[in-house]
Chains A and B, each alone.
Chain A
């Protein structure tokens, strides 16, 4: 009961303080909003990029081992069994020469070229999917050493490219985390500053509270709530702006950067909302917590 009354007092007090220092409060809300928008864009781009990378990962975790013409079927099955027994391998699929040609002809991209070919120049192949991307190189080596491999065009493995792509994606992830860290520090400092102003405006009240025997956290509570409120308001504004801009932005970039399969993902909005609101509240709480510990002493 008593705690509830204190909470009521703190909420009231925080709300009053927010409006009393409207200019400072709004400046803080705007700054945090901008920061959260940056963070939100960071999250959205990160999400889009991770979708792209996931697709890419799926594609490159598969390798085709081309079979030389005339290799006995039994030899192919033996090798297929050997691959299947390998713990790194997820699946192995045998594509015959005929099937390879059919697949080739079925692809509309190849339509013109397909009409011009005589007979069947395509190899039969084993499509091997591995569990982990890093094992592709080993399977590639296994394939190249196999007696039945087509020596002129052994596999479709692209070597270094894969690793470089993965490296790039982890660097981008790191850059994202670094950007987030900087944003967190900046917003904490901004909230601290607002709290300092609020404390200054309420110094008389704080002095009186101290003289009548208010506990330290009774005095500090309203400021922490004010900080959380600032963070939440900023998060709400940032979220609405991001939600409004998300789809048009994706469409815009989609036509500019066709080679990157960016896509609008409405399911991501709810997780973005959760992240931004929790993030805003935490930033506000952290900034004001540090602020009151520094500026409100009894």
Chain B
């Protein structure tokens, strides 16, 4: 049974009967229906191989659904032309488990990169990058290279890069997967702050403590299907979990 929370604000993302079957035959997603209102903070949880990353890849149009439709801000992703794709991705901030920083660029240049590819003028790049680095608490590290930073700091750089073009929503795939609990918590605070400023956040995660602590919306995926959609959820289903253990 799928619950669709009835929020007042308009949906920024909606999945309508979305199926994804990879060419290998793997049915990664099966009949996904999901509405994400603007300003939402949503955890995607579920066991390995459940289809969380597939959902993320569909959301940034790296993959197309096999069946069904995905709307973002009223535009159907499947109908978007290849030419429009970059413009769509500029509205999205992406953060990954492996940071995806460029090792041969300084911290400043890594963050500036997101603006350079848009052809923004230097003075604008400078002030925006300074703001973003300030937000993630890395002012002063501009000239350092990624290799000289801790994992948590590298993830902050990645977040700064995701923020620098002021995206409407942030998609993060296991952003704390490589970090120790204390650092993970710091990174999560950062996402909360970004969300508080108005950005919609969709985050796939395995971090049970944080999910259970924050009690935000939790969408649990299991074997490609939405198993649960709680407005203020936990990592594990409170009702069924003990039952499964009892069996």
A and B are partners in one complex rather than unrelated chains: yes
What residue of chain A has the Cβ atom nearest to residue B94's Cβ?
A: A211
Given contacts A210-B89, A211-B100, A298-B85, contact A2 B119 (CB under 8 A): yes
Tell me if A245 is interfacial: C-beta within 8 Å of chain B: no
C-alpha spacing A205/B161, complex, angstroms:
14
Interchain CA distance A213-B92 in the complex, whole Å: 9
Q: Are B87 and A213 in contact (CB under 8 A)?
A: yes
Of the candidate stretches B19-27, B110-118, B186-194, B235-243, the one touching chain A is B110-118
The answer, yes or no, to whether A167 is at the interface (CB within 8 Å) is no
* Structural contact, B100 and A204, CB atoms closer than 8 A: yes
Q: Which of B102, B118, B119, B161 has most chain A Cβ within 10 Å?
A: B119
Is there a chain A Cβ closer than 8 Å to B12's Cβ?
no
Q: Which of A207, A212, A215 has the most CB of B within 10 A?
A: A212
Min CB distance B165 to A, Å, is 7
Specify which chain A residues have a CB less than 8 angstroms from the CB of B82 in the assembled complex: 216, 298
Map CB proximity to B onto A1-31 as digits: 1 under 8 Å, 0 otherwise. Answer: 1110110010000000000000000000000
Which B residues lie within 8 Å of A2 (CB)? 119
Whether A213 and B113, one on each chain, are in contact in the complex, defined by CB atoms closer than 8 angstroms, is no
Docked-complex contact B118 and A205, CB < 8 angstroms: no
Binary interface profile of B, 96-126, with partner A (CB < 8 Å = 1, else 0)?
A: 0000101000000000011011110100000
Query: What's the minimum C-beta distance from A260 to chain B, rounded to whole angstroms?
Result: 57
Interface of A is mostly: helix
Contact yes or no, B113 A212, CB < 8 A: yes
A209 at the interface (CB under 8 A from B): yes
A5-B119, A204-B100 known; A215 and B86 CB under 8 Å? yes
The answer to whether B90 has its CB under 8 Å from any CB of chain A is: yes
- Per-position contact with B for A215-240: 1 when CB-CB < 8 Å, else 0? 11010000000000000000000000
Chain A, residue nearest B161 (CB): A212
Q: Give the distance in Å from the alpha carbon of A216 to the alpha carbon of B84 in the complex.
A: 10
Q: Which residue of A lies closest to B96 (CB)?
A: A211
Q: Closest B-chain residue to A202, C-beta based?
A: B102
Is B60 interfacial (CB 8 A cutoff)?
A: yes
Q: Is the CB of B121 within 8 A of A212?
A: no
Q: Please name the residue on chain A nearest to B115 by beta carbon.
A: A212
Task: Give the docked Cα–Cα distance between A216 and B116 (Å).
Answer: 14
Contact residues in A for B94 (Cβ distance below 8 Å)? 211-212
CB neighbours (8 Å) of A298 from chain B are 82, 85-86
Residue numbers in B under 8 Å from A168 (CB-CB)? none
Contact status A208-B102, CB under 8 Å:
yes
Q: Which residue of B lies closest to A207 (CB)?
A: B100
Given A208-B100, A211-B100, A212-B165, residue A9 in contact with residue B116 (CB < 8 A): yes
- Residues of A near B88 (CB, < 8 A) are 213
Are the CB atoms of B117 and A213 closer together than 8 Å?
yes
A214 proximal to B (CB < 8 A): yes
Instruction: Give the residue name and chain of the B residue nearest to A2 (CB).
Output: B119
The CA of A208 and the CA of B100, in the complex, are separated in Å by 7
A5: B residues at CB distance < 8 A:
119, 121
Closest Cβ–Cβ distance, residue B53 to chain A (whole Å): 14
Q: Is the CB of B102 within 8 A of A213?
A: no
What separation, in Å, do the CA atoms of A216 and B82 have in the docked complex?
A: 9
How far does the alpha carbon of A5 sit from the alpha carbon of B112 in the complex, in Å? 14
Residue interface mask B38-64, A partner, CB < 8 A = 1: 000000000000000000000010000
- Please give, as numbers and ranges, the residues of chain A lying within 8 Å of B114 by CB-CB distance: 212-213
Q: Which residues of B contact A218 (CB under 8 A)?
A: 86, 117, 119
Contact partners of B92 in chain A: CB under 8 A:
213
Cβ contact within 8 Å between A214 and B121 = no
Give A107 to B83 CA distance when docked, in angstroms. 77
Complex interface: chain A residues within 8 A of B87 (CB)? 213
Q: By CB atoms of chain A within 10 A, which of B92, B117, B161 has the most?
A: B117
In the bound complex, do residue B86 and residue A205 qualify as a contact, i.e. CB atoms below 8 Å apart?
Answer: no
Chain A residues near B118 (CB-CB < 8 A): 212-214
**Beyond A212-B161, A216-B83, A298-B85: 8 further Cβ-contacts under 8 Å?**
A1-B121, A210-B86, A210-B89, A212-B118, A212-B165, A213-B86, A213-B88, A216-B86
Q: Which 6 A-B pairs have the closest CB atoms?
A: A213-B90, A214-B117, A213-B89, A212-B114, A2-B119, A215-B86
List 19 A–B pairs whose Cβ atoms lie within 8 Å, in order of A's numbering. Answer: A5-B119, A9-B117, A205-B102, A211-B89, A212-B89, A212-B114, A212-B117, A213-B86, A213-B88, A213-B90, A213-B114, A213-B118, A213-B165, A214-B117, A215-B83, A215-B117, A216-B82, A218-B117, A218-B119
Measured CB to CB, the residues of B under 8 A from A are 60, 82-83, 85-90, 92, 94, 100, 102, 113-114, 116-119, 121, 161, 165
Residues of A participating in the B interface, judged by any CB pair closer than 8 Å = 1-3, 5-6, 9, 204-205, 207-216, 218, 298
